[in-house]
Structure 1
Amino acid sequence: MREILLPQEIQSLLTISLMQGKVCQGFVGFDAVKHKRSFSKEDRELLKLFGILLSNVNERKDKEKELNTERSFLKTLIHTLPDLIWFKDPQGVYLACNTRFEEFFGAKEHDIIGKTDYDFVTKELADFFRKNDINAMQSEKAVINQEEIPFASDGHKEIVQVTKVPMYDASGKLMGVLGVSRDITQSTLTANALQSERIMLQAILDNAPMGIWMTTPEGKVKFVNKTFCDATGVSEEQFLNAEHYVDLFPIDVTQNCIHSDKQALSLEFGAYSTTQTLPFVDGNNHLLEITKVKIQDAQAKIGIIGLAMDITERQKQQRHLEYIAHYDMITGLPNRVLLADRLQQALLQAGRHKSSLAVVYLDLDGFKAVNDIYGHDNGDKLLSVLAKRMKQTLRDGDTIARLGGDEFVAVLPDMKNLQDSIVMLERLLYACSQEVFIDDIHMQVSASLGVAFFESEDSVDAEQLLRQADQAMYQAKILGKNRYYIFDALQDKSIRTHHESLEEIEKAIEEEEFVLYYQPKVNMKSGEIVGVEALVRWIHPEKGLLAPAAFLPLIAGHELSVKLGKWVLKSAIQQMDRWKKEAIDIQVSVNVDALQLQEKDFISGLKYILSIYPLVENKNLSLEVLETSALNDIVHVTQIMKDAHEIGVHFSLDDFGTGYSSLTYLRRLPAKELKLDQSFVRDMLDDPDDLAILDGILGLATAFDRHTIAEGVESIEHGEMLLHMGCEVGQGYIIARPMSAELLSSWMQEWKVDERWANVSAVNREDMPLLYALVEHKAWMKNIIGYLNNERVSPPILSHLKCHLGIWIQKNGYKHYINHPLFEQIEIVHAQLHEKADGIIMKFHEGSLSDSQNAIKTLQKYSDTLSEMLKKLIK
Structure 2
Amino acid sequence: MAEEEILNLPFRYFFNNAAFGIALADQEGVILTANPAFARLVGEHPQDISGRNFLRFISTEKKGDVRDILVGLVDSPFQKFHAEFPLIHKNGQIRLVLLAGTTIPDTTGKPRNIMLSVAEIPTGMISQDNQMRAAVAEEYSELQYRKVLDSVPYPVLFVNDQQRITWINKHAELSFGYVMLELLGRPLAVLFPELSWEPDAVKDDREFTSPVSEKPPYAVYAMHKNGVRHPVMLDFMNIDNANRRDWVINVQILSETNAREDASSYISWYDPVTRLYNRVLFQERLGHAITRAEREEKKLGVLVLDIDRFKQLNDSYGYEAGNQSLKEIGDRIISCMRKSDTIARLGSDQFAILLEGVDQAERISTVVQKLIDGFSNPFSVQNEDVYLTASIGLSVYPVDGLDVENLMKNAESAMLLSKKEGGNGFHFYTREMSARAKERMQIDRELHHALNREEFVLHYQPMLDASGKKTIALEALLRWNHPDKGLIPPLTFIPLLEELGLIVQVGNWILRTACRHIKSLQGNGYGQLRLAVNVSARQISQHDFSDNLKKILQETGLDPKALELEITESVLIQNADKSEKILESVAELGVSIALDDFGTGYSSLAYLKRFPIHTLKIDRNFVKGLPDKRDDVAITDAILALARSLGIKVVAEGVETEEQHAFLRNHHCHQMQGFLFARPMPSEELDRWLVANRSGRTPHVHLPRHKP
Q: Give the TM-score taking structure 1 as reference length.
A: 0.36
Higher Rg of the two aligned structures: 1
Larger relative contact order (CA 8 Å, sep ≥ 6): 2
Q: Give the TM-score taking structure 2 as reference length.
A: 0.44
